[in-house]
A and B are shown apart, each in its own frame.
Chain A
Amino acid sequence: MKNRFFLVVATVAAVVLMTSCGKVPQADIDAANAAISAAQTAQADIYLPGEFAALNDSMTVIMQSVEAQKSKLFKNFKTVKLQAGALTTLAGQAATNAAVKKDEVKVEAETLLAQVKTLLADNQALVLKAPKGKEGKAVLDEIKGEMTVIETSINDAQTLFDGGTDYMQVLDKVKAANEALTAINTELTDAIAKVRR
């Protein structure tokens, strides 16, 4: 009788013990979240949008895995712990990559800004040499007006650049100015070359 009783008690105890095994690796999950926040602070969402989206997707999968384990009788958070650890590493890498990419874009924007300023000065010099025939004068006036507007846009881009937030926006603005100035440069050069022939 006594043995039967102990057998039942032992069975129940074993079940209780096994169902309470496995705690949520909250510290690892918190670390992963912190790493993703740090990546966002490094502007990974702007400079590496694909990579940043993948980080968020991975975190979503981890949270699903946590609840999936909680739904079980016998929980095992080993895989979740490993996933969270890997995600923390990836997010750290993304932060680093974002800083590198931001620097690349910054350098590109800075180079292009310098280039358009030089092109603007070159065009202003070409305007003085351009032929001033009847139609030519009107076109030159038009070009001068256009360059004034482009110069304002370049100054706006410089202000944005000095602000140091979104170099992608600076790049788009300066690319438009560069295209406009290049077209003007071609027009002026062709007009001057025609007169020389």
Chain B
Amino acid sequence: MKRSLVKALIFTIITAIFIASMVWLFFALIPEPPLRDIESAQASIAQARDQNSVIYSAKTFREARSYYDSAMISWKTENKRFILFRDYERARMFASMSQKKASEATRATIAKANDMRVTLDHEITRLTTGVRDFEKVFSSMPIPQEIKKKHARGKLLLREAVIAYEKGEYVAGSVKIAEANEYITDSYNYANDKLVEYYKSYSHWKEWAGKTIKESRENGTYAIIVEKIPGVCYLYHRGEKKYTFEVEFGKNWMGDKMIKGDNATPEGRYIVTKKLSNGSTKYHKALLINYPNQEDLEEFRVRVERGQLPSGSKIGELIEIHGEGGRGGNWTEGCVALRNSDMDVLFKYAGNGTAVTIIGSSVPLSEYISSR
């Protein structure tokens, strides 16, 4: 009896140890799930996303997400198998690749975002200067409305770019600044090219003004020199400047007069041919000049021959220096307008035969631009 009890006890103990060993072996063989690797990958993706990698490193970020999804799919697939046959290595591999890509996206984003910020900042400064220069140098020039609108549109886009920059939205800001650059640069180049083209006659202007002043000195006479830039009229006597008056020109003042009705003020050397006052002019007082002179007639003929002017064009006439100026802006049909009080002074000293020289400017272009 005692012997059979001991036997039974020994059997139970051995069975229990066997079952415990089997259970321990079973749990030991269960593979470790890839939770930590997948959590790391997800954390890296979140970091990349928070740095705006979706915008700045879109492709790399998408790859990181794709690897993460693959890791999850692989994990799910393995979990459907019998627990001891699961293999999470593939899931770990995908998770690791996802983490690498996400980290790469974060690094690239930080570098790109910083580059973009610096470039945007530089462009904002450059275009702000461009806008300011345009307004200082070119605002008084006769520029077509469409060019002025372009400039205004560029200015507004520049403001929108600044707002985006201040919000840290560098991609949106870059898009706005690129658009602004197109408008501002186009309008600036148009105006600058027009001014440079106009100033090609500078040597002629200098020569004409120089001759006029010399003759005034040598002959002891009065002479009138009109400069379109900066819009002044000088009265010389014996080669010395005596008076300076502000003047206004035709709306299309920039350049020589080509045809009748072009609203341009002629450039060249003329003389006063008639003095008008006391109701004989509607502009208070006037000095009629001999436009067109021989040179003007010859130039007109050549232009018509070359087809540079429309057929049937007529040369202008009746160009005067007159009063009723001071209206602000350039409004005449080609004449030179002064305030009545200034016209009174000019009218007092000028007479028939007084030299009238109309030029673009005596100020060199570089000096004109830097003075603005």
Chain A interface (Cβ < 8 Å from any Cβ of B): 4, 7-8, 11, 15, 19, 53, 57, 60-61, 63-64, 67-68, 70-73, 131-142, 145-146, 148-150, 153, 172-173, 175-177, 179-180
Contact = CB atoms under 8 A, between A and B. Distances in A.
Nearest to B169: A172
Contacts of B302: none
20 contacts: A7-B15, A11-B19, A57-B46, A64-B42, A67-B75, A67-B79, A72-B30, A131-B328, A132-B329, A134-B231, A138-B140, A146-B156, A148-B149, A149-B156, A150-B156, A172-B163, A172-B164, A175-B163, A177-B156, A179-B159
A64 B160 contact: no
B35 A149 contact: no
Q: Is the interface of B mostly helix, strand, loop or mixed?
A: helix
B30 A63 contact: no
Interface in B40-82: 42, 46, 49-50, 72, 75-76, 79
Contact of A71 (B42, B86, B156): B86
Given A131-B328, A141-B139, 4 more contacts: A68-B35, A134-B248, A137-B327, A179-B159
A136 B328 contact: yes
Interface string B127-146: 00000000100011000010
Contacts of A142: 135, 139, 148, 152
A67 B34 CA distance: 9
A158 B243 CA distance: 55
B190 interface: no
B85 interface: no
B159 A145 contact: no
A91 B38 CA distance: 24
B42 A176 contact: no
Nearest to A65: B35
A11 B160 CA distance: 74
B140 A135 contact: yes
B37 to A, nearest CB: 11
